């Protein structure tokens, strides 16, 4: 998730507006930044890699009181976080410059087409092809050719574009990525990824919708439908946010915002990787070949904390779909226990930050013993990605809340994708089964959105249980890891003791804990082990225990055997962890907020544990 800002007008120095805006947007991505303006008859483009405060002087070089500028702060998806991959990107003639948030799924096809026409590329990014495509398709009315070029883009984009022939205009288009116009009476016009970038100048905004395009000039916005080309009416809103609230998108906390970003995070992580018609997962830039994978006879997944729980889901999914032995190991244990691994072992390290010390050490051990190593990771170019043979990136964007939510979900999606990919190599799933899997996977974002509409129901349950001091979370099979993750969320956010357990293990000891003061949270969604979990719940209730059930929508029988329900949408069992974790994230969030705790930065925790 990157940040975009643009300004056109004669009241403020455009480069200063952009640099201030980029500072406000750094929470969206911060591995590199850049800005562009029109100086005389040409473009001035400054870029740098690293945090904005370290490269600000580089970005200001040569900038003065220009009247138009666009800027970008990057969260790398395609191409390492280097200067040549930083935005803005220009065409070969340096007449058009682009900044972009999103993922262009057909960029490789377009890059091949443009290269064949003689276009030369300087970066590894998908964005750069947009500048070349705009130049290649340019006609006398740039707005017409702008629309035609944008119609050729597949995937997600929020674009801001300058053209030297239109020195007071910023062209824009959006699809599946936020983009907002800021109106400032007589002081110019703004364009940005979210209001945070422009709040110090204006609170009057227009939220652009998908498949809209147009341009802003110093006095107004000109808005059109991408499909029809017809002009559209301008809807203005006046925001009462303060700048910090804007960074949270109007949510009380970054964690709540990130929980709500999860539908788009799943879409972005799946983006460009699913071919439903052929039942295939596409990992075009994956550095490990199918031949290498075909030699593997065992998989070890290693990670810490929430990432480990995503790896535990991965164990269940990979064994079921690929019929290969899989172990999930805590990195802090794996690195010291002298494990038996060899060149036929695939070791997968999973990590949001890619900097967790124990996970890095575990993968070093794996390499030293000849294993093939792979990472599932969020941060592009992080240490972990430089120590493995291949990386499968998730696209969760920067996760500010210390308690992981969207990154966890994206990691699980990463394992679902990899399992499907490996199942084809190992020929352990029919193409029909893969097609059904892909079809259901593509429905997950919408199902999460549906569940989030009922978050008030979760709040009511949290209000009822906020003062209990102990909880037991129970799950089985695919959702045993979900129980562990749900318990960790409550622990780290509300400082309440919560233990995750395989529900079949309850009678082997933990049942001694159960009484009126120790509620059970049980994952009782529709599954092949539903009856087993149900009997565990009845054992718990026989001890006068209160039970909160995570139930599949419409399962009336389940509702009668629990005291309170957290409802999830129906899906195939192998994907159920993606839906069942959502109410558990919300439950932990609401309990923490009700108790007045620091949701985004819980006590004693760090976002990335870079020491042992």
- Report, as residue numbers or ranges, the catalytic residues: 2, 607
Least distance in Å: CB of 580 to ligand AGP? 17
Q: How far apart are CA 307 and CA 300, in angstroms?
A: 14
DSSP H helices, 80-141, are 107-116, 128-136
> Hey, CA dihedral for 577, 583, 589, 592, is it positive or negative?
negative
- 73 or 351: CB nearest ligand AGP: 351
Token digits of residue 177: 């990525």
- 182 or 305: CB nearest ligand AGP: 305
Q: How far apart are CA 177 and CA 158, in angstroms?
A: 5
| Stretch of 217-225, 398-406, 523-531, 556-564 contacting ligand AGP, by CB under 6 A | 398-406
- 279 or 311: CB nearest ligand AGP: 311
For tokens 């799943």, the residue is 266
Instruction: Draw the binding track, 449-488, toward ligand AGP (x: CB under 6 A; -: no contact).
Output: ----------------------------------------
Element of type H or E holding 318: helix 305-322
Orientation angle between helical segments 431-452 and 262-270, nearest 10 degrees: 160
Q: Is 381 a residue that touches ligand AGP (CB under 6 A)? A: no
**Short-list 129, 58, 62, CA closest to 92:** 129
- 127 or 585: CB nearest ligand AGP: 585
Q: Give residue 104's Cα distance to chain centre.
A: 16
Residue pair 182/205 in contact (Cβ under 8 Å)? The answer is yes
Question: How large is the greatest C-alpha to C-alpha distance in the chain, in angstroms?
Answer: 81
Q: Is 352 a residue that touches ligand AGP (CB under 6 A)? A: yes
Q: Is 357 a residue that touches ligand AGP (CB under 6 A)? A: no
| Stretch of 33-41, 289-297, 399-407, 437-445 contacting ligand AGP, by CB under 6 A | 399-407
Element of type H or E holding 357: helix 357-368
Choosing from 184, 269, 353, 576, the residue that interacts with ligand AGP (CB under 6 A) is 353
Q: Work out the burial of residue 469: count CB atoms within 10 Å of its CB; fewer than 13 is exposed, 13-18 middle, 19 or more buried.
A: exposed
Q: How far apart are CA 418 and CA 441, in angstroms?
A: 13
Least distance in Å: CB of 402 to ligand AGP? 5
Choosing from 403, 461, 496, 582, the residue that interacts with ligand AGP (CB under 6 A) is 403
Token digits of residue 47: 């870029």
Choosing from 73, 356, 571, 592, the residue that interacts with ligand AGP (CB under 6 A) is 356
Residues 276-335 close enough to bind ligand AGP by CB under 6 A: 304-307
Least distance in Å: CB of 514 to ligand AGP? 26
Q: Is 351 a residue that touches ligand AGP (CB under 6 A)? A: yes
- 215 or 590: CB nearest ligand AGP: 590
Residues 100-139 close enough to bind ligand AGP by CB under 6 A: none
- 19 or 304: CB nearest ligand AGP: 304
Q: Is 402 a residue that touches ligand AGP (CB under 6 A)? A: yes
In 217-279, at which residue ranges do the beta strands (DSSP E only) sit? 221-225, 237-238, 274-275
Residues with Cβ within 8 Å of 291's Cβ and at least 6 positions away in sequence, in order, are none
Plot region of 44 (φ>0 → left; ψ -120 to 50 → alpha; else → beta): beta
Least distance in Å: CB of 309 to ligand AGP? 8
- 492 or 499: CB nearest ligand AGP: 492
Cα–Cα separations (whole angstroms), residue 67 to 13, 47, 94, 181, 217: 6, 19, 19, 17, 10
User: Which string of b and e fits 199-221 if b means at least 16 CB within 10 Å?
Assistant: bebbbebbebeebbbbbbbbeeb
Residues 147-206 close enough to bind ligand AGP by CB under 6 A: none
| Stretch of 52-60, 149-157, 181-189, 346-354 contacting ligand AGP, by CB under 6 A | 346-354
Least distance in Å: CB of 601 to ligand AGP? 11
| Stretch of 248-256, 401-409, 522-530, 531-539 contacting ligand AGP, by CB under 6 A | 401-409
Binding site for ligand AGP (CB under 6 A): 304-307, 351-353, 356, 359, 402-404, 492, 608-609
């Amino acid at each position: 998730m990157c940040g975009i800002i643009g300004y056109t007008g004669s009241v403020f120095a455009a480069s200063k507006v952009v640099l201030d805006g980029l500072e406000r947007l750094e929470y969206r991505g911060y591995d590199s930044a850049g800005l562009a303006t029109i100086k005389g008859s040409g473009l001035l483009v400054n870029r740098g890699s690293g945090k904005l405060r370290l490269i600000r002087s580089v970005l200001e070089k040569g900038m003065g009181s220009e009247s138009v500028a666009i800027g970008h702060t990057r969260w790398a998806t395609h191409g390492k976080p280097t200067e040549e991959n930083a935005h803005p990107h220009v065409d070969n003639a340096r007449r058009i410059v682009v900044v972009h948030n999103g993922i262009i799924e057909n960029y490789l096809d377009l890059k091949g087409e443009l290269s064949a026409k003689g276009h030369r590329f300087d970066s590894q990014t998908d964005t750069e092809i947009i500048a070349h495509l705009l130049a290649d398709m340019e006609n006398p009315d740039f707005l017409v050719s702008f629309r035609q070029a944008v119609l050729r883009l597949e995937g997600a984009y929020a674009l801001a574009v300058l053209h030297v022939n239109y020195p007071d205009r910023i062209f824009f288009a959006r699809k599946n990525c936020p983009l907002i116009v800021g109106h400032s009476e007589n002081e110019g016009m703004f364009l940005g990824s979210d209001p945070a970038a422009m709040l110090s100048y204006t609170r009057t905004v227009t939220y652009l919708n998908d498949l809209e395009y147009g341009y802003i000039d110093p006095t107004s916005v000109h808005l059109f439908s991408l499909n029809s080309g017809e002009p559209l009416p301008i809807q203005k809103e006046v925001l009462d946010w303060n700048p910090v609230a804007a960074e949270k998108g109007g949510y009380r906390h970054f964690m709540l915002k990130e929980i709500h970003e999860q539908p788009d995070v799943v879409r972005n992580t799946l983006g460009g990787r699913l071919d439903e018609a052929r039942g295939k997962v596409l990992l075009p830039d994956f550095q490990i070949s199918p031949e290498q994978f075909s030699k593997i006879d065992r998989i070890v997944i290693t990670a810490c904390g929430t990432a480990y729980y995503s790896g535990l889901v991965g164990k269940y999914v990979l064994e079921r779909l690929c019929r290969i032995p899989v172990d999930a190991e805590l990195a802090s244990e794996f690195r010291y226990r002298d494990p038996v691994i060899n060149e036929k072992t695939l070791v997968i390290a999973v990590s949001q930050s890619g900097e967790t010390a124990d996970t890095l050490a575990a993968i070093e051990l794996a390499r030293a013993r000849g294993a093939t190593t792979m990472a599932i990771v969020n941060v592009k170019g992080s240490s972990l990605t430089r120590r493995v043979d291949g990386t499968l990136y998730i696209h969760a964007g920067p996760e500010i809340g210390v308690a992981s939510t969207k990154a966890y979900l994206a990691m699980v999606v990463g394992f679902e994708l990899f399992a499907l990919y490996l199942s084809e190599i190992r020929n352990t799933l029919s193409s029909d089964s893969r097609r059904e899997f892909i079809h259901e996977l593509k429905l997950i974002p919408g199902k999460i959105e549906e569940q989030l509409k009922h978050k008030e129901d979760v709040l009511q349950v949290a209000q009822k249980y906020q003062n209990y001091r102990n909880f037991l979370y129970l799950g089985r099979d695919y959702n045993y890891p979900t129980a562990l993750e749900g318990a960790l969320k409550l622990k780290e956010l509300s400082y309440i003791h919560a233990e995750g357990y395989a529900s079949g293990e309850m009678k082997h000891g933990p049942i001694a804990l159960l009484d009126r003061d120790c509620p059970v949270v049980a994952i009782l969604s529709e599954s092949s082990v539903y009856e087993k979990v149900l009997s565990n719940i009845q054992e718990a209730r026989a001890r006068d225990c209160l039970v909160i059930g995570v139930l599949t929508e419409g399962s009336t029988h389940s509702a009668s055997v629990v005291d309170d329900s957290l409802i999830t949408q129906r899906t195939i069992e192998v994907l159920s962890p993606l839906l069942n974790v959502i109410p558990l994230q919300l439950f932990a969030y609401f309990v923490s907020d009700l108790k007045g705790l620091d949701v985004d930065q819980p006590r004693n925790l760090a976002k990335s544990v870079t020491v042992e």
